[in-house]
Amino acid sequence: MEFFERFAIPHPSFAIYASMVAAGLTLIAIVAGLTYFKKWGYLWREWITTVDHKRIGIMYLISALMMLFRGGVDAIMMRAQLAVPDNTLLDSQHYNEIFTTHGVVMILFMAMPFIIFFMNFVVPLQIGARDVAFPRLNALSFWLFFMGAMLFNISFMVGGSPDAGWTSYFPLADGESVGSHYYMIAIQIAGIGTLMTGINFITTILKMRAPGMTLMKMPMFTWASLITSVIIVFAFPVLTVALAMGTMDLLFGTQFFTLENGGMAMLWANLFWVWGHPEVYILILPAFGIYSEIISTSARRNLYGYKSMVGSMVLISLLSFVVWAHHFFTMGQGAFANSIFSITTMAIAVPTGVKIFNWLLTLWKGKIEFTTPMLYSILFIPLFTLGGVTGVMLAMSAADYQYHNTMFLVAHFHNVIIPGVVFAMLAGLTFYWPKMFGFMLNEKIGKWTAWLLSIGFLLAFMPMYVTGLDGQARRMYTYSESTGFGPLNMVSFVGAAIMAVGFVLIVYNIYYSVRYASRDISADPWDARTLEWATHTPVPEYNFAITPEVASSEALWDVKKKGHVLFKGDYEKIHMPNNSGVPFIMSCIFFAWGFSLVFSLWIPAIITTIGIFICMTLRSFEKDHGHYISVKEIEDTESEMRGA
Amino acid sequence: MKLKLALFAVMMSILTVLTGCEQLTVLDPKGPQAERLASDIMLTMLMMAGIVIAVFVWLVIMLVKYRASKQPADYEPPHIEGNPWVEGILVGIPVLIVAFLSFVSVQSNYIVESAPQGYEEKEPLVVYASSSDWKWHFSYPEEGIETVNYLYIPTDRPLEFRLYSHGPITSFWIPQLGGQKYAMNAHVTKLHLAADVEGDYMGRNANFSGEGFAENKFDVTAMNQEEFDDWVKEVKATAEPITEEKFEKLLEPGHLGRMTFTGTHLEFSPAPEHHHEGDKYEDKDEHKHSEEHHSASDKESSDHDKHMNHDE
C-alpha cells in the first residue's frame, strides 16, 4: 500500500478530481475515436513519425494551444480566488500550486512551443529551404518538449503539483512532496528539446538560405529566429546545469542550494535568472519578427530601418545576458552592483525603443489595411510601450525595493508578455493560418477577439499597478477587507473573464472557419512580401519545386513589382529525409525515465536510461540516406497544385 | 472609434494611478528613505507617461493619415530604407532619458544603502529581524528584549535592521518607511530605515515563502523616544525571558499572534553574521557602539568561531 501512497495527491480538491475525470474521459474518447475511424496508422505514418518541419510545426501549435487553455484555467482560478477579500474558493496550498503551474505552463509549455511553431513552419519557407538542417533531430526536439510538458501536466493528478513558484527558489522548493521533482525533471526533458531546436535553427539559417539571400537580405522573422536560436544555445545550458544540480539536491542529497553545509540558495536564483532573463527575449524577439512581417505587409511598405532593426535585436540579445541580477535587486548585493544592473537593464529600453519607432515609421507613407493580424499589431504598439516604460521604472533599482515582489511587477511582466508575445502569436496564427490549412480564419470574429483581449487585458492588469503601489504582494492567496485591495481585484477578475471569452472566441473562430470559410483562396492571400508566400497552399512536402533565387529581403515583392524571376531552371529530383519512429519512441522512454526519477523508482530509472542509450546507439549505426522525389512526381504535384 | 475608446481606457488607467497617489501606501512615505523612493517613482511615472502619450499620439496620427481607405486606389507606398538622421535622433532621445534616469538611479542606490538623510549624526537602533515559517522575530540586543510579529520603533532615531531567515528566503518590507530587502538563511542583510512620523504601519514578508505566506505580516508602531523607553521598561518588568526551548517551539511552522520576551534569541542562536566579507569591516564599527550593545556583540563573536566551521 505504501508504494501506491506515493502517487496519491497530497492536497486533493473537487477541482482536481473533476479534471481527473475529464482527462480520463478525453483520453478514452481519443482512443475510441482513433480506433473507430481506423486512424491509428494514419496518425503514426503521417504525424508521429514525421520529420517534415511543417507538420512538426503544426504539432507544436496544437500543443501550445492546449497548454494555453490549461494555463488560462489556472489564471481564471487565481483571479476568481482574489476577486473578493477573504475568499475561500481555493486554499493556500491549492493557490500556490496553481500560480506555480500557471507560470511554468505559460512560459515553457505555451509561449515557447508557440514561437517554435512559427520558427518551424515559417523559417525554412522564408529562406527557401526544403526542411531544417536536421529534420530528425527536429522531430526529437518536438517529442521531448511534448513529453516534458505531459510529465509536468500529470503532476496535479499523480503525486501533486509543484508549489514553490515558477522560479522555484530554494530552500522553499526543497519540499517533501514530489512537486519539485516534477518541476526539475519535466523542464529538463523539455529544455533539452529546446536546446536542440536552437542548434538546429542556427545551422538551418546559416547554411540553407536560398541563393542570393545574404545575411542582410534575410526577412526580419528569420533574423529574429536566428538571434533567438543563438540566445537559446547560450542560455539553455545554464538551465540544464541548474536543473541537474537541483535534481541532485532533491533526489541524491547533494547540497548545492540547501540551508546547511554551505548550500547557497541564492546560487539557484542566479543560475535560474541567468537563463530566465534571456528566456524572455527568446519569447519576445520572434514576436518582434512576426510584427515586422505583418506591419510591413499590411502597411504595403518595406520595413523602415532594416539595419537598425537587426542591430537592435543583436544588442538586445547581448544585453539580455547582463541584466539577470535585476531579479533580485533586494538581495543586499550593495549599491554598486545594483547600479551596474540598473544601468544595463535600462539600456535595453534604447534598442527596444528603436524597434517601436521603426514600426511607427513603417506606417509612415504606407497604405494601412486593418486586417486582423494588423489589428493585433496596432494594439501591440501602445500596450507594449506601456509595459516597456514600467520596465524602465522597475529598472530603477532603489525604487525596485518598493516594486519588488508586488502586483506592480506582475502587472509589468504581463503587460509585456501579453501584448508582446501572446498578441504576436495570435496575429501570426491568423496570418499564417491560410498557408497552413488553405482557408482564412474569419476576420470579423478575429477582430472581436482582438478587442476583447485588449480590453480584458487592460481591465485585468492596470489595476495591479495600483494595488502593487498600495502594498499588495504577489502570490498572496488572500487578503483582508481592511487592506482595500478588494474592488480593484474584482476589476481584474472581470478583465480576466473578458479575456477568457476572447480565448474561447479563438476556438469558435477555428470551428466556424473550418465549416464555412472559402477554400478558394490564393497562395498569397495577404498580398505579402516574403518567400513563404511564393509556394503553393497547401505547401508540398518539398516546399519549393525549384530552389528560388532572391535579391532582397522581400523576394516575393520583387516578383510582383520589379519583375524578378524566382524560379529558374528545370525540375530536378529532390532529396528528402525518411520518416522515423525513433524520436517518438525515445521521447516516450524519456517520459518513463522522468516519471521514474520523480518517484525515485530506481530500477525503472536504470532500465529507461539504458533504453535511451540504446536509441542513440541504434541511430549512430543506422544507415538512412533518405529518399528522392522523382522529377515525374514533382511534375504531377505541381500541375495538380496549379490546377487546384 | 474603437481604437479611441481603447486609448481612452489606457489614459484613464494612467490618470487613476497618478491621481490616486496620495492614498497609495508606497506613495505615502513616513520616513526619509521611503520619501526618496516615492519621489523617484513619481518622477519616472511622469516621464514615462510623457513617452507613452507621445507614442500614442504618433501612432494615431499614422493610422489616421495613412489608412488605406483614405488614399487613392492607385497609391503606391514608396520604398524608404531609413535615414541615419531620423534614426540617430530616435536613438538619441532614449539614450538621454536612460542616461538621466541612470544618474538618478545610482544616486538613489547610495542613498537607500546608507544611513537615512537627516539622521547621519545619530546612533542607529539595531534590530535583528528574522523570519521563520510564518512569523517575524524582532530582537533588540541593545534593549535586551525580543518581540514576535510586532515592532515598536522610536521616531527620532535611524534604524538599522539586520535581516535573516530561519527558513525560506523572505523579504522584509515596511512600505511607508522604505523598500524591502531579502532575509536569507546563510547571511545577514542590512536595511537602513527611519520613521519621521508617529503612527501604525503595515509590515510584511513580500517574498513567497510557502503555505502561510499571505498572513506572514507584522504591525509596526512608531512612537517618540520616551514612549519607546517606557515600553522597553514595561517589557523588562512584565515579559517572560526567552529560552532556547521556547524559541525552538516558536520556529515550528504556523502562525502566532504578538509575543514579547526579555532577552534575545541571539544569545543562544546567533545571527549568521560574519559569513561574508562585508561584515569584516562592520566589526570595527561595532566598538563604537554603546555599552549595552557591546555585550551583545561580544557574545556573538564568541559563537562566531563555532559557526564558521560549517560555512567553509
**Residue among A396, A86, A601, A353 at smallest CA distance from B111:** A396
Q: What is the pLDDT of residues A242-297, one digit of tens each?
A: 999 999 999 998 999 987 778 888 999 999 999 999 999 999 999 999 999 999 99
* Closest chain B residue to A461, measured at CA: B13
- Under an 8 A CB cutoff, do B44 and A339 touch? no
Q: For residues B120 and A582, which has the higher predicted lDDT (pLDDT)?
A: A582
pLDDT of residue B18: 54
Q: How far is A368 from chain B (nearest CA, A)?
A: 4
User: Residue B286's pLDDT band (boundaries 50, 70, 90)?
Assistant: very low
Mutation for testing the B interface, residue in A469, A474, A529 having most B CBs under 10 Å: A469
Spatial separation of the C-alpha atoms in residues B33 and B176, rounded to whole Å: 9
Whether residue A426 contacts residue A507, with contact meaning beta carbons closer than 8 Å, is answered with no
Mutation for testing the A interface, residue in B47, B59, B71, B219 having most A CBs under 10 Å: B59
- Under an 8 A CB cutoff, do B24 and A470 touch? yes
Poorest-confidence range of A187-191, A445-449, B115-119?
A: B115-119
Residue A552 has pLDDT above 80, yes or no: yes
Mutation for testing the B interface, residue in A292, A389, A397, A412 having most B CBs under 10 Å: A389
* For chain A, percent of residues with pLDDT exceeding 70: 99
Strands A627-629 and A574-576: antiparallel
A138 touches chain B (CB under 8 A): no
Residue B304 has pLDDT above 70, yes or no: no
Residues 323-342 of A with CB under 8 A from B: 328, 330-332, 334-336, 338-339, 342
- Under an 8 A CB cutoff, do B211 and A96 touch? yes
Q: What is the pLDDT of residues B122-165, one digit of tens each?
A: 999 999 999 999 999 999 999 999 999 999 999 989 999 999 99
Residues A615-623 have a mean pLDDT of 90
- Under an 8 A CB cutoff, do B82 and A400 touch? no
Spatial separation of the C-alpha atoms in residues A551 and A572, rounded to whole Å: 22
pLDDT of residue A481: 93
pLDDT of residue A15: 86
- DSSP-based three-state secondary structure for A406: strand
Residue B287 has pLDDT above 80, yes or no: no
**Residues in contact with A4: Cβ distance below 8 Å, sequence separation at least 6, in sequence order:** none
Q: How far is CA B204 from CA A40, A150, A172, B67, B213, in A?
A: 57, 37, 18, 52, 9
pLDDT of residue B307: 40
Q: How far is B224 from chain A (nearest CA, A)?
A: 25
Q: What is the rounded (10 degree) CA torsion for B274, B275, B277, B280?
A: 10
As a whole number, the mean pLDDT across chain A is 94
- Under an 8 A CB cutoff, do B179 and A330 touch? yes
Q: How far is A521 from chain B (nearest CA, A)?
A: 22
pLDDT of residue B247: 95
Residues 218-277 of A with CB under 8 A from B: 259-266
Task: Give the phi and the psi of residue B263 in degrees, each rounded to 5.
Answer: 75, 170
Q: How far is B95 from chain A (nearest CA, A)?
A: 6
| Distance from the first to the final alpha carbon of chain B | 67
Task: Give the phi and the psi of residue A582 in degrees, each rounded to 5.
Answer: -60, -45
Give contacts of B36 with chain A, Cβ < 8 Å.
Answer: 398
Residue B239 has pLDDT above 60, yes or no: yes
DSSP output for chain B:
-HHHHHHHHHHHHHHHHHHGGGTSGGGS--SHHHHHHHHHHHHHHHHHHHHHHHHHHHHHHHHHHTBGGGS-TT---------HHHHHHHHHHHHHHHHHHHHHHHHHHHHHTSSPTT-TTSPPEEEEEEEETTEEEEEETTTTEEEESEEEEETTSEEEEEEEESSS-EEEE-TTT---EEE-SSS-EEEEEE-SS-EEEEEEE-S--STTGGG-EEEEEEE-HHHHHHHHHHHHHHSEEP-HHHHHHHHSSS----EEEES-GGGTS--S-SSSTHHHHHHHHHTTS-HHHHHHHHHHHHHHHHHHTTT-
Residues A24-38 have a mean pLDDT of 94
Give contacts of A375 with chain B, Cβ < 8 Å.
Answer: none
Residues B198-205 have a mean pLDDT of 96
Residue A432 has pLDDT above 60, yes or no: yes
Highest mean pLDDT among A194-208, A548-562, B268-282: A194-208
* Closest chain A residue to B92, measured at CA: A350
- Under an 8 A CB cutoff, do A350 and B95 touch? yes
Q: What stretches of A162-305 show up as alpha helix (H) in DSSP?
A: 179-207, 220-252, 265-298
Residue A373 has pLDDT above 70, yes or no: yes
- DSSP-based three-state secondary structure for A627: strand
B67 touches chain A (CB under 8 A): yes
Q: For residues A468 and B293, which has the higher predicted lDDT (pLDDT)?
A: A468
Q: What is the ipTM of this complex?
A: 0.92
Give contacts of B186 with chain A, Cβ < 8 Å.
Answer: 259, 263-266
Residues A186-194 have a mean pLDDT of 97
Give contacts of A364 with chain B, Cβ < 8 Å.
Answer: 62, 66, 80
**Residues in contact with B254: Cβ distance below 8 Å, sequence separation at least 6, in sequence order:** B133, B134, B135, B212
For residue A454, give the nearest of B6, B101, B108 by CB distance. B6
User: Residue B301's pLDDT band (boundaries 50, 70, 90)?
Assistant: very low
User: Residue A176's pLDDT band (boundaries 50, 70, 90)?
Assistant: confident
- DSSP-based three-state secondary structure for A524: coil
- DSSP structural state of residue A421: I
Task: Give the phi and the psi of residue A452 in degrees, each rounded to 5.
Answer: -60, -45
pLDDT of residue B12: 61
Q: What is the pLDDT of residues A391-424, one digit of tens each?
A: 999 999 999 999 999 999 999 999 999 999 999 9
For residue B108, give the nearest of A360, A398, A463 by CB distance. A398
Residues A494-522 have a mean pLDDT of 95
Strand order in the sheet with B150-154: B150-154, B217-223, B199-205, B170-173, B181-183
Query: Strand pairing partners for B139?
Result: B128, B146
* For chain A, percent of residues with pLDDT exceeding 90: 89
Q: What is the pLDDT of residues A88-105, one digit of tens each?
A: 999 999 999 999 999 999
pLDDT of residue A258: 85
